[in-house]
Structure 1
Amino acid sequence: MSTDAQDSRRAPYAYTLRDTLDADEHAACLTNWQQRYDQLSAGVFAGVFEEFCFGKVQLFREGLNQSVHQAGEAWRGSRTFAVPVMIEGTGWFGGEVYDAHSMLTLGSDDELDFRTPRRLEIVACTADAVALDAYAQQVDHRNIETELAGRKMAPATPERLAALGQLLATMMSSLRATPELLVHPQMRKAMEQALFATLLDTLSSGSVQATAPSCSARQLVVARARAYMEAHIDEPITVADLCIELGVSRRTLQYSFQDVLDLNPVKFLRAIRLNAVRRALKAPPPNGRSTVADVAARWGFWHLSHFSAEYKTMFGELPSDTLRRAG
């Protein structure tokens, strides 16, 4: 089965879901990659492939029931990360053995040399390397491409690897249910930044010890952050937006908000956005009709079930109740 929700040349996103019965057919699924798959184990081939492309990100899932050797290369200027979610035994990637606890990475200048075990399912993301590195520089003051130079296996603890795999699976599950919400630029931005932030957390060795800013510096960071938020009250501001605007790292922002407001910046911004959604649900829609999903997407909430739970916890009712009462 194949579903192309949008033409990627015209639309802000593309979605593909396909069952494959041939290794060559499967190899051709991944957008903008140059690949060749050679089936190594005997038997009828059966695969599943799913892909979402939006902004500077490509999310994909592939499952195989036969051992194959994959050769080729990713699209120019990209960086790929892959996590096995189901694997029988071990495989071979760029000269190294991988298993269920491995995080694979591939730069655009790296040659793909990937041998799978007989059964494998992976979730993966390919991102624009410049965009990812710019994000890392601006919010964590890190150079990801330098950290990963020459690596085939990215450093990650089992807990952080599991968290990344869970995020990728959750993102794909949410998009599978409502891919059309990717028409909203705020939705695409929120998902891209959530992915980048989780990748940085996954790759962090935990060895970097940041010095907490002084009390006066923390107060200044929070004051400047609140001034920026007030000036952009109608926009779904993110932690990365604040880091870039203020020229501080995520850690500095964390220290400052926790000390001054007794709340981390993620929760603070989420509360601000939840209130914005509530006001939008209570207001007459500009086009005469509105849905909870569309309003939530416009404010960067990409996981609708989590959003509904957070909304009810904050306001004591579901967002659908607010919208129905306003109507």
Structure 2
Amino acid sequence: MARSKLAIGIPFQLEGHALLCGQTSHRDGLHVFSGDGGFEFLSPDKHVVVNLEIEPGAIGDELVRSQVDEITSLLGAKPGVLNIDPARLQGFRAVLKQLLDAVAATPTLLDDVGVAASFEKSVIFGLAETLQGMQDVDPHGSVEARTARNWQLVRGIREVVEESPDCPLSVAELCARFHASRRTLQYAFEDTLGVNPSAYIRAVRLDHVRRELRGAASVTEVATRWGFWHFGNFSNEYRGQFGELPSETWRRSRVRAG
């Protein structure tokens, strides 16, 4: 039977003795509170844990729901502490901090359906990527055959990403859509285009932002809708691609509309 709800804790600060279901609790351990039999958590004196509750049945997007199913299988059937690669867990902490900081600064952000969907994807695909190990590309076959496969994969991705209004917001989401590992995509893009998939997706998303700024209520809503939650980085990346700040694009469009 599928779980009705997933409950996961991501430690930001743990100082002192702590146990979760008899396992040593530590900062680089993902804390799973959902599962069979309930849990017992002896918390330390000083701790900051961001708790995520995910209700699979409430998720409408089929691709996102499939990622939740995969997360469920990776979490296992019982509560406890999962030891995660520290670098990957730290990357997920950074994602969560950006999301929470943005919403804390502008609580009404999540009233926008598109922004809420972006938030949901950022959390779920970020968690899925944290739990998954990177898979190496199959080394077998000729160089020509690998190049042909890489080009076919990249061409398929370009057709979907550039023609669809629902552009993936992360490499993790792109991997899920095309059933490929991050390493496979990395090799394919570098082999055929000379760029990494992160840079490619970021450029496409920035193009979407620029188009939507023309009729937007605010820069913040458009940026977060397209998965840009760290506004300082977003402004720098936007200026690097278009030669002006997003606020300048937005103001100019409003002057023309007036």
Alignment TM class, shorter chain as reference: 0.7 to 0.9
1:260 is displaced (CA, Å) by: 1.2
Q: Does 1:97 align with 2:24?
A: yes
Q: Which residue of 2 aligns with 1:303?
A: 230
Summarize deviations over 1:240-299 as a string: whole Å, max 9, x none.
Answer: 664455444444333222221122222212111212222333x3x2xxx62111222343
Secondary structure in 1 aligned to 2:102? helix
Secondary structure in 2 aligned to 1:154? strand
Q: Is the 8 A contact 1:273 1:299 kept in 2?
A: yes
Q: Does 1:159 align with 2:87?
A: yes
1:218 is displaced (CA, Å) by: 1.1
Q: Structure 1 residues 203, 214: closer, same or farther in 2, change over 3 A? A: same
Structure 2 distance, partners of 1:121, 1:87, is 7
Structure 2 distance, partners of 1:267, 1:177, is 27
1:115 is displaced (CA, Å) by: 1.6
Q: Is the 8 A contact 1:92 1:114 kept in 2?
A: yes
Unpaired runs of 5+ residues, structure 2, are 140-144
Q: Is the 8 A contact 2:71 2:128 kept in 1?
A: no
Q: Which residue of 1 aligns with 2:142?
A: none
Superposed CA RMSD in Å reads 2.9
The size of the alignment, in residue pairs, is: 241
Q: Is the 8 A contact 2:6 2:55 kept in 1?
A: yes
1:177 is displaced (CA, Å) by: 0.8
Summarize deviations over 1:35-75 as a string: whole Å, max 9, x none.
Answer: xxxxxxxxxxxxxxxxxxxxxxxxxxxxxxxxxxxxxxxxx
| Matching residue's letter, 1:169 | K
| Matching residue's letter, 1:98 | S
Higher helix share: 2
| Matching residue's letter, 1:271 | A
Structure 1 distance, partners of 2:178, 2:28, is 37
Q: Over alpha carbons, which structure has the higher Rg?
A: 1
Q: Structure 1 residues 229, 121: closer, same or farther in 2, change over 3 A? A: closer
Q: Structure 1 residues 89, 82: closer, same or farther in 2, change over 3 A? A: same
Unpaired runs of 5+ residues, structure 1, are 1-75
Q: Structure 1 residues 297, 100: closer, same or farther in 2, change over 3 A? A: closer
* Identity among equivalent pairs (%): 30
Q: Is the 8 A contact 1:311 1:318 kept in 2?
A: yes
| Matching residue's letter, 1:279 | R
